[in-house]
Amino acid sequence: MAASKTFSMKLLFSLLISSFAIIRMATAGDPDILSDYIVPPNVTVVDGNFFTFTGMRSLLGAGPPTAFKASKASMAEFPALNGQSISMDVLQFPAGSISPPHTRVRATGLLFLIAGTLEVGFVDTTNKLFTQTLQTGDMFIFPKGLVHFQYNAGSTPAVAVAAFGSANAGLVSLPNTLFNTSIDDNVLALSFKTDVATIQRLKAGLTPKPRG
């Protein structure tokens, strides 16, 4: 009970702090719009509720997840973000869990660690790796489009808030893109300088198992 209350306080605190970061990030992002905001065609009532996202309420007081969990507030979940160059994820990392290597093709990411410790890293276009062990309270920036990852190597859960400079940051997961699509096995085997059997094993690990 006490632990979940502390977690709730941390989450609230982080959301407050991240709003400052968001204001800065909003200066570089999606193209400017020619109106104050964009209302989707199927929305008829525009009031305070349209500009409010309540989807993170369920995280407060809920127990920690058993696997890595990203709760999103992007344009899809929160339509008022359309045209505002901003979105946000709350990331929960049980001990030992990972956010596999991925990029966000349209946005820089600013990660703020609000609980635990977290290994983070990205690789730049010269193939140089930058890593850090973040402590609670630290921020780390993932430059737009570069491949990056997060890993909770600690023994306690980690929680982070990530702000993105786009309403639709465009997540590309490398394992999923490479090994969970129909890219020809030979193309992948040649690319990774391995054999088709190895590629098929990698693919099998990511493909949902048939039921029945």
Is 206 an interacting residue with respect to ligand NAG (CB under 6 A)?
Answer: yes
Exactly one of 5, 23, 40, 135 binds ligand NAG (CB under 6 A); that residue is: 40
Q: How is residue 129 written in tokens? A: 């790796």
Q: Which helix (H) or strand (E) holds 212?
A: none
Residue numbers 159-188 binding ligand NAG by CB under 6 A: 176, 180
Nearer to ligand NAG (CB atom), residue 80 or residue 110: 80
Interface with ligand NAG (CB under 6 A), residue from 1, 31, 34, 42: 42
Q: CA angle 17-21-22, nearest 5°?
A: 110
Distance of closest approach, residue 25 Cβ to ligand NAG, in angstroms: 25
* Segment interacting with ligand NAG, rule: CB under 6 A, options 38-46, 55-63, 139-147, 195-203: 38-46
| Token representation of residue 93 | 């990392």
Q: How far is residue 111 CA from its own chain's centroid? A: 9
The distance of closest approach from Cβ of residue 175 to ligand NAG in the complex, given in angstroms and rounded to an integer, is 7
What's 91-124 look like in SS3?
EEECCCCEEEEEEECCCCEEEEEEECCEEEEEEC
Q: Is 66 annotated as a binding residue?
A: no
Of residues 89-118, those binding ligand NAG (CB under 6 A):
none
143 by Cβ neighbours in 10 Å (0-12 / 13-18 / 19+) ranks as middle
Question: CA-based diameter of the chain, in Å?
Answer: 58
Of the residues 3, 23, 43, 174, which one makes contact with ligand NAG according to CB under 6 A = 43
Query: What residues form the annotated binding site?
Result: 102, 148
